Structure 1
Amino acid sequence: MHITVDTIIGDILRRETDAAAFFREAGMHCIECPAARGETIAEACAVHGMDAEQFAAAFNARFATK
């Protein structure tokens, strides 16, 4: 799965079974919250003080083979 900063977290979690672990490793422990599932990567990264482009790139690199 390839994501962008505009990808919705809930969509990622539904399509990529290992994604929750990636989010937790990055420090986003609130992904289980129903509100967080409706956020984009950009919105979640802004709340956590993270660079959304870097997060998306790291996610895509990790899940590139799936």
Structure 2
Amino acid sequence: MKITKEMSITEIVQKYPQTVDVFMKHGMGCLGCAAARFENLAQGAMVHGIDVDKLVEALNKAVE
């Protein structure tokens, strides 16, 4: 696994720009918001009511 739920949202998008579509499909369109810089993936998913494990799986599929 390349992407983990401990990584920040901004870090993921910077390293793997192809993940933007995955975030959008899961209802996380706030990639440029201030919280995305400080929240890790698990925190951001929780705020949006998203299953973080499914999101991590989808993100990792996108970067394979």
Shorter-chain TM band: 0.7 to 0.9
Letter of the 1:59 counterpart: L
Match of 1:10 in 2: 10
Identity across aligned pairs (percent)?
A: 33
C-alpha separation between the residues in 1 aligned to 2:35 and 2:21? 18
Contact 2:19 2:62 (C-alpha < 8 Å) held by counterparts: no
TM-score by structure 2 length? 0.84
C-alpha separation between the residues in 2 aligned to 1:26 and 1:56? 11
RMSD (Å), alpha carbons: 1.5
**Count of residue pairs the alignment pairs up:** 64
TM-score by structure 1 length? 0.82
Letter of the 1:33 counterpart: C
C-alpha separation between the residues in 1 aligned to 2:20 and 2:58? 14
C-alpha separation between the residues in 2 aligned to 1:23 and 1:37? 15
Match of 1:19 in 2: 19
